[in-house]
Structure 1
Amino acid sequence: MYLLDANVFISAKRRFYRFKVVPGFWDWLHQANMSREVASVVSVQKELEAGGDDLTEWVKHHKSLFEIPARKFVESSTELAQWVVKGEYTQVAQHQFLAAADFELVAQALALGATVVTEERPQPGSRKRVLIPDACDAMGVQWTDPFTMLERCGAKFVLAPESDASLFGSMSCPK
C-alpha cells in the first residue's frame, strides 16, 4: 500500500494533473484506493480541506481515501515520537513534526508496512525540520516520489481513440 503526503495532492492539483486537464489521474487515485493500493491519513485530509478550493471539494467526495485504521498505530507512533525527541532536532522542529500530518503519515506507514509517497527529499543533517524521508529511513519505512509510485502501479493516462475525442474536449488549441 502507498500512503500519500499532502504535497502529492497539492502539486498534482497545481501543476501536473489539474482537474480539467488530467481527470484520469484523479480517477486513478479513486480506483487505486478502492483496491486498497493507495490511501492517506485523516490529518492529510484535514490539511487539504482547509484549502477551500477544488481540491477541497474532491477530498470531500473521496473520504474513504483517508480512512485507514492500523491496530499497531499506537506502538508505531510511540516509536517514531521517541526517535524524533532523542534526535538532534531543535525543539521547534520536534514540536512541528509531532503536531503535523507528516507524523501520522509515517507512523501509519510503519504500522501497516506501507510506502510513503512524498515530494520531499532527505536531508539527514537537518536540525530545523524533520523531513518525511529522514523519518522513514530512521524507522525502516519505504518512501518514494509520486512518479515512481505511478510507474510501479502501472498507471497510464492516455488520450482516447479519435472516436472518443469528444470526451476529452477540443483537439485544437487556440492561439
Structure 2
Amino acid sequence: MSYLIDSNVLITAKNFYYDPSICPGFWEWMEYSFNSSKIKSIDLVKRELEKQKKDTLAVWLREKKQNHWFAESDDFHVIEKFREVQEYVMSQGYMPAALDDFFREEVADPWLIAHGMVSGDTIVTLEKPKPANTKKSVPMASLCEHFGVSYIDTFNLLRQFNASFHLK
C-alpha cells in the first residue's frame, strides 16, 4: 500500500508543528519515504507547493529534484475517474462558488481522489468529512468516503510507519 500526500499536509507541517528549523527529522523522514515509494503525491500538488518560489517548501522540493515523487494526472484512467468525481460533485447541489473553487485548474483535491480511485492508495490529508447539507465548500474527505477511497491524517500516517523524531 502506498499513500498520496495532500498539499495541506506539507504546508501545515512546515508552518506549524514540523517547521524544518525545529524538526528536520520530519523532513528527512518524508524524503526517505518518498524515495522508498512508501508515499507519493501528484503533479498538481507539486505545482501548488512550488507556486511560492521562495517559500521553504518550494525550495526544499527544488533542491530534491525528485519528479518521481509526483504521479502525472494525464493518465487515461485517472482522467476517467476525475470525470466521475466531477459528475457526482456537480449533481450534489453545491453552491457555484464552491464548485468554482473545487474545480479550479490548480486545485489538486479532485485529482487526488481520482488517483486514489485508480491506484487504491490512501490519501493523507488534514481535511475532515462534513455534513451532507454543507454546500458552501466541497469536502474532499466526504468525497473519499463516497468513492471508497481511504484517507488518514499526518499523525496516523506517522503511527502506521512507527516514525519518531528524537532530539540529538
In the alignment, does 2:139 pair up with 1:131? yes
Instruction: Tell me the equivalent position of 1:42.
Output: 43
Equivalent position amino acid for 1:102 in 2: D
* Alpha-carbon distance, 1:24 to partner: 1.2
Instruction: Return the offset for 1:97.
Output: 1.1
Quick one: which amino acid aligns to residue 12 of structure 2?
S
Aligned mate of 1:113, from 109, 120, 123: 120
User: Can you list the C-alpha shifts for 1:81-135, whole angstroms capped at 9, x where unaligned?
Assistant: 1111111211221222122111111111111101111111111321011111011
Where does the alignment leave 5 or more consecutive residues of structure 2 unmatched? none
Matched residues in 1 for 2:45 and 2:116: separation?
13
Q: Percent same amino acid at aligned positions? A: 32
Contact 1:39 1:68 in 2 (8 A): no
Instruction: For residue 16 of structure 2, give the secondary structure of its aligned residue in structure 1.
Output: helix
Query: Which protein, 1 or 2, shows the higher relative CO under an 8 Å CA cutoff with sep ≥ 6?
Result: 2
RMSD (Å), alpha carbons: 1.6
1:98 to 89, 103, 124: 103
| Residue aligning to 2:87 | 82
Per the normalisation by structure 1, the TM-score is 0.84
- The Cα shift of 1:71 comes to 5.5
Q: Report the secondary structure of 1:16's partner residue.
A: coil
Counterpart-to-counterpart distance in 1, 2:71 and 2:147 = 22
Per-residue deviation, residues 4-38 of structure 1 (Å, max 9, x unmatched): 11111111111111112111111111111122111
Letter in 2 for 1:32: S
Q: Is the 8 A contact 1:41 1:67 kept in 2?
A: yes
Matched to 1:14, the amino acid is: N
SS at 1:19's partner residue? coil
Moved >6 Å (runs of 4+):
none
Matched, 1:7 2:8: yes
1:68 Cα shift? 5.0
Alpha-carbon distance in 1 for matches of 2:50, 2:5: 15
* Preserved CA contact (<8 Å) 1:8 1:146: yes
Task: Give the structure with higher Rg (CA).
Answer: 1
Q: Distance in 2 between matches of 1:131 and 1:119?
A: 11
Structure 1, gaps ≥5 residues long: 161-175
Report the count of equivalent residues.
Answer: 160
Note the C-alpha offset of 1:137. 0.9
